[in-house]
Amino acid sequence: MRKELNPRFWWPLKLSERAENAFQQFSEKNKSSELNKDNLNKMVRELDLLMKTNIEAILEKDGLPHLSHLYNGWGNATFHGQQIIKNMDMFVHTNEAGEYFVLQCDPEGDFHPWQSFSYAVMAGIDPNLSISSRGFTLASLAKNSRIINTKEGRELGHLLFALAFLEPSQDASPFYLDGNKCNIKSLMDQAVYAHHYGTFEVCRKFHLTEGLCAAATKIRGFENYREDAQGFLNGQLDIMIILGVILQEARDLKNSSAGIENGSLIQELRQELKLGNLIENHCYYAGHLIELAAFAAAFGYSVKEEHWQAMNFIINELNITLPNFLPYLSIQEHFYALGHYRRAITLLAKVGELLKKGETLKREHLGEFRVNFDILTDNNNENENIKVLPLSVKEGGIYDVSRISSVCREKFISVIEKYNALAPEGFRPRGKFSHFRRIGPPEWPRSFHYEILDYGDKIGIEIHLESHSLLPFRVLLKI
């Protein structure tokens, strides 16, 4: 495929000769991109201010993936006088031995295995910090959360990354994938296999590469996996150059006031990366790749100069373009992408600074970018300086945002308000989703609750059992 230009250990894309040439030209021409730190700091502050007005509603959505993406992007932030990691308490279950754990690949726990642990590590949260009055820590929860409801190695990225920090030993307690007992070496082998043969659907394998890089570095005896990890990393970082080409093409089209034509280079590359023209997708992709590159560099992997230059270019370009679209984005729906981007650009700046000084990335460095939303203020009214134009005018249609309505139907709100006025304390609605509310007293498992739902043409009530451990109770609830 690309053998003449750049032989590759791993490369999941199929590009035309035109695209290959654009890749090469971008790498050769983009050799003097300096990171614009002023714009970077402005972007971080703008994302912080936007999150300040949305964090309460996001927390009320009552999901561990929502919470873990919050502290991934904004650190173990302070909100209403409390560190947000404390909210993890409501997702912690007790097994038959009385041990605390988090369900994996389950609606009532982590969506991806060990995602909450991985993002806590990335946020610089102390694994031995007590995060509940019940006395458990991230480290103790991880030791008890070993049953993984998947059989596929492609889902192991978050797990391996967190394990490399929390339990860096080949002899760590085994995991159970689809009921099968797996030691840590088996997980590494499955991760390598999944890179080569698994589908590209789970986060584009960003986290899989990241986890393999971390485990091969931090777990003694796994040094022989570093060659594989470097090969996968090289492929991911070359994909980042493709993203750089897309942003360059978008800038050129904008400057020339030209629209996107069918069969154009930017259309081909966006289709190959499955990006579309949504600005939030570009931030999501950039955030993951830059985060991967920064951690890999901190672990001692080789990151070529052309990749550092591409990252600088991508960040500079998005920090100019993204502010124009933030007024149109539903922050509550797109904070995953924005959080990954915030984490990535702050991390890259810190890692670059440490590498120049010959210093090592430490947990304290990862925690530097946590936000105290209780004292965050917009003294300069920066958001008022954003010039909001009709979306059809801006960027000539080169970028767009997804249209997501978070507005509740008036009838649904009316029903909720009337019910809330009559409901006893333990049965008041939770959350602020646009089409449903959860109901259930605190002594019930979170996965067992009622839901008032807006079906569009009518409003109804359902009983929900959202945990595998509760499925046997279905028989008791049948009418």
Check: CB of residue 211 under 8 Å from CB of residue 164. yes
Measured CA to CA, the distance from residue 353 to residue 38 in angstroms comes to 15
Q: How confident is the model over 283-302, as pLDDT tens digits? A: 999 999 999 999 999 999 99
Q: Residue 438's pLDDT is what?
A: 82
Note the Cα 330 to chain centre separation in Å: 16
| Side-chain half-sphere CA neighbours of 174 within 13 A | 9
Measured CA to CA, the distance from residue 216 to residue 5 in angstroms comes to 28
Measured CA to CA, the distance from residue 91 to residue 100 in angstroms comes to 10
* Residue 254 CB contacts under 8 Å (≥ 6 apart), including other chains: 395, 396, 398
Which of these, 296, 288, 293, 292, lies nearest to 341 by C-alpha position? 288
Long-range Cβ contacts of 391-397 (<8 Å, 24+ apart): 391/328, 394/324, 394/325, 395/250, 395/254, 395/321, 395/324, 396/253, 396/254, 396/257, 396/258, 396/259, 397/259, 397/260, 397/277
Q: How confident is the model over 22-47, as pLDDT tens digits? A: 999 999 888 777 899 999 999 999 99
Locate the DSSP E strands across 169-229: 175-177, 180-182
Among 262-266, 393-397, 420-424, the least confident range: 393-397
Measured CA to CA, the distance from residue 164 to residue 186 in angstroms comes to 15
Check: CB of residue 283 under 8 Å from CB of residue 341. yes
Beta bridge partners of residue 130, listed in sequence order: 137
| Helix segments in 198-330, DSSP class H | 206-218, 226-255, 265-273, 279-298, 305-321
What is the residue-averaged pLDDT of the chain?
89
For residues 310-315, give the mean pLDDT: 97
Does the pTM surpass 0.85? The reply is yes
Place 411 in a pLDDT band, splitting at 50, 70 and 90: confident
Of 259 and 196, the one with more pLDDT: 196
Reply yes or no on whether the pLDDT at 428 is more than 90: no
Tokens 């959350």 locate to 431
41-80: buried (b, 16+ CB within 10 Å) or exposed (e) per residue?
Answer: eebbebbbbbbbeebeebbbebbbbbbbbbbbbbbbbbbe
Measured CA to CA, the distance from residue 30 to residue 60 in angstroms comes to 44
Check: CB of residue 214 under 8 Å from CB of residue 164. yes
Among 76-80, 104-108, 210-214, 333-337, the least confident range: 104-108
| Side-chain half-sphere CA neighbours of 9 within 13 A | 14
Measured CA to CA, the distance from residue 394 to residue 18 in angstroms comes to 28
Domains assigned to the chain: 17-397 (1.50.10), 410-477 (no CATH)
**Ramachandran bin of 276, using left for φ above 0, alpha for ψ from -120 to 50, beta for the remaining angles:** left
Q: How confident is the model over 166-182, as pLDDT tens digits? A: 999 999 999 999 889 99
Reply yes or no on whether the pLDDT at 477 is more than 80: no
For residues 254-262, give the mean pLDDT: 84
* Residue 212 CB contacts under 8 Å (≥ 6 apart), including other chains: 157, 160, 188, 191, 192, 195, 225, 228, 229, 232
How many other CB atoms are there within 10 angstroms of residue 174's CB atom? 14
Measured in degrees and rounded to the nearest 5, phi and psi for residue 454 equal: -100, 110
Which of these, 237, 249, 233, lies nearest to 311 by C-alpha position? 237
Check: CB of residue 71 under 8 Å from CB of residue 123. yes
Measured CA to CA, the distance from residue 473 to residue 148 in angstroms comes to 22
Count helices and strands (H / E) in the chain: 17, 10
Q: Residue 448's pLDDT is what?
A: 79
Q: Residue 2's pLDDT is what?
A: 39
Which of these, 250, 309, 315, lies nearest to 286 by C-alpha position? 315
* Residue 51 CA: distances (Å) to CA of 288, 309, 330: 19, 29, 11
* Residue 278 CB contacts under 8 Å (≥ 6 apart), including other chains: 399, 400, 401, 402
425: exposed, middle or buried (Cβ count in 10 Å: 0-12, 13-18, 19+): exposed
Check: CB of residue 261 under 8 Å from CB of residue 290. no
